[in-house]
Amino acid sequence: MSDGRLKIAIVAGEESGDLLGADLVSSLARKTGRNIKLIGVGGSHLEALGLKSVFNVDDIALMGLGAVLKKLPKLILHIHRLAHFIADEKPDCLIIIDSPDFTHRVAKKVRKLSPEIPIIKYIAPSVWAWRPERAKAMCPYIDHVLVVLPFEKQVMRDLQGPPATYVGHRLLTYPPLVAIEKLRSSRIEEVKHAPTVVVLPGSRHFEIRGLMPIFGQALEILKKRRPDIEFVLPTLPRLADQVRKFASEWTVKVNIVTGEDEKWAAFAKADAALAASGTVSLELALADVPMVLGYKADLFSKTFILPRVKVWSAALPNIIADRPVVPEYFNEFLRPGMLARQIEQLVAAGPVRQAQLDGFSLIRKTMATTLPSGEIASQTILKYLKQN
């Protein structure tokens, strides 16, 4: 470090992890007053901070057994190459964020090759949902876990995992969501004559294939019951063609928009949402958009994952509030008629809608921190950098 820079190795395989990593690195630079040299793998947000990825991040942003098996030889090669590269570079710290099947294997190899490098895991694997044994198994190669859900610190302790710090969630201070919260708090909750429903069928191809036909049927039923209702479907640019293809088969008109600005504009206008179960449910909760969640698991998940699931709900709002806040339907229970009738109750002011809004208020209080997540995360990591 003759040039006075901190050298941080980071591996982030998905868009959300790339954002978290960039936020954390920016906070580290502010706190230390030093320039940071980034090595590893990441997306556009980390690349904007100077990261030159060892390989294309899309190679590890894989979902589903078939996709993994298809690229298994390349993944094995990437694990070996990246671990040796990081170990040879001797960074001040290694931060792994998501894509656990890949990043954890890299961390294990780095620990063997260069055990003096501190290794931090940002976002805990869902050990509270399934495979709890993973918590204890991380101890030999993870020095600290930065958790983003308030109950996860205790879970890691109970399961004898690595030390953990609750850093809060970046969504709590995310400007578009903060702006929506202020907008909603400034206006009176009322019944609209032309309510808007935001439709979110997922961010992965298999989710869209499984949910779009059912969501379309639900919207058709809802439109017959509430002819004045309007629909908007935000999606990612890379998924737009697939989404438009499915939507073209619907009998109802839906406004398909792409891009972050358009997404948050849709959230700000929305009275309710029909969404795939996932991180978006927390975004909707923090934006005060009542919702109904649905999901269709593939054959592999039904056979090997669902029988091992321990958690009582798959919806993040429910888990964080520790009570049923939003309805969720899976697989054969995902009925268009039920989805439509649930949404119909949510677009009108009343006890069903208000119950969700009260739950969202509880979630914000439960997740609140005194500092932004990136600041708390960087403070924790600095303790390990000082040891190096």
24: domain CATH number is 3.40.50.2000
Residues 347 and 199 in one domain: yes
Q: Distance between CA atoms of 51 and 37, rounded to whole angstroms?
A: 8
Amino acid identity of residue 220, one-letter, is: E
Q: Average of pLDDT values for 178-186?
A: 87
User: Integer distance in angstroms from the first to the last C-alpha of the chain?
Assistant: 12
1 lies in some domain: no
Residues 379 and 355 in one domain: no
SS3 call for 39:
strand
Across-strand partners of 8? 38, 93
2 has pLDDT over 50: no
120 lies in some domain: yes
SS3 call for 164:
strand
- Digit-coded pLDDT (tens) for 323-373: 999 999 999 899 999 999 999 999 999 999 999 999 999 999 999 999 989
Residues 303 and 334 in one domain: yes
Among residues 17, 28, 9, 16, which one has the least CA distance to residue 109?
9
Q: Distance between CA atoms of 139 and 162, rounded to whole angstroms?
A: 5
Q: Average of pLDDT values for 229-233?
A: 98
Predicted local distance difference test score (pLDDT) of residue 66: 52
DSSP 302: I
248 lies in some domain: yes
| Maximum separation of any 2 CA atoms in the chain, in Å | 70
Supply 152's token pair.
């996860």
Instruction: Give the number of other Cβ atoms within 10 Å of residue 321's Cβ.
Output: 22
Predicted local distance difference test score (pLDDT) of residue 386: 58
Q: Comparing 201 with 15, which gets the higher pLDDT?
A: 201
263 lies in some domain: yes
Overall domain count for the chain: 2
Residue 237 lies in domain: 173-367
Residues 150 and 189 in one domain: no
320 has pLDDT over 80: yes
198 has pLDDT over 50: yes
332 lies in some domain: yes
Residues 376 and 280 in one domain: no
Residues 205 and 239 in one domain: yes
Predicted local distance difference test score (pLDDT) of residue 279: 86
37 lies in some domain: yes
Position 280 confidence tier, pLDDT thresholds 50, 70, 90: very high
Sheet with 230-235: list strands edge to edge.
Answer: 255-258, 230-235, 196-200, 272-276, 291-295, 328-330
188 has pLDDT over 70: no
Residues 56 and 146 in one domain: yes
Share of the chain above pLDDT 90, in %: 72
> What is the reported pTM?
0.86
Q: Distance between CA atoms of 217 and 322, rounded to whole angstroms?
A: 31
Among residues 38, 75, 77, which one has the least CA distance to residue 58?
75
137 has pLDDT over 50: yes
Amino acid identity of residue 111, one-letter, is: R
Mean confidence (pLDDT) of the chain: 91
Instruction: Give the number of other Cβ atoms within 10 Å of residue 318's Cβ.
Output: 22
Decide: 209 and 215 in contact? Cβ < 8 Å: no
Most confident listed range (2-11, 40-49, 180-189): 40-49
Residues 237 and 194 in one domain: yes
Share of the chain above pLDDT 70, in %: 94
Residues 197 and 98 in one domain: no
Amino acid identity of residue 192, one-letter, is: K
Position 67 confidence tier, pLDDT thresholds 50, 70, 90: low
Q: Name the CA dihedral angle for 310, 313, 318, 324, rounded to a multiple of 10 degrees.
A: -120
Predicted local distance difference test score (pLDDT) of residue 1: 42
Predicted local distance difference test score (pLDDT) of residue 340: 98
Residues 341 and 374 in one domain: no
Q: Comparing 112 with 302, which gets the higher pLDDT?
A: 112
Element (H, E) at 36: strand 36-41
Q: Comparing 305 with 101, which gets the higher pLDDT?
A: 101
Predicted local distance difference test score (pLDDT) of residue 307: 75
31 has pLDDT over 50: yes
**Helical packing angle, 336-346 and 205-225, nearest 10°:** 60
Q: Distance between CA atoms of 72 and 67, rounded to whole angstroms?
A: 8
Q: Distance between CA atoms of 16 and 97, rounded to whole angstroms?
A: 9
Across-strand partners of 49? none
Predicted local distance difference test score (pLDDT) of residue 99: 83
323 lies in some domain: yes
Supply 186's token pair.
């400034």
Q: Average of pLDDT values for 156-175?
A: 94
Q: Comparing 203 with 319, which gets the higher pLDDT?
A: 319
116 has pLDDT over 50: yes
Question: Helix H segments across the chain?
Answer: 15-32, 44-47, 65-70, 72-89, 100-113, 133-137, 152-158, 175-185, 205-225, 240-247, 260-269, 280-286, 299-300, 316-321, 336-346, 351-367, 373-387
Burial of 235 (0-12, 13-18, 19+ CB in 10 A): buried
Q: Comparing 140 with 387, which gets the higher pLDDT?
A: 140
Predicted local distance difference test score (pLDDT) of residue 68: 60
Position 298 confidence tier, pLDDT thresholds 50, 70, 90: confident
Q: Average of pLDDT values for 177-181?
A: 93
Residues 186 and 323 in one domain: yes
93 lies in some domain: yes
Residues 283 and 239 in one domain: yes
Q: Comparing 15 with 221, which gets the higher pLDDT?
A: 221
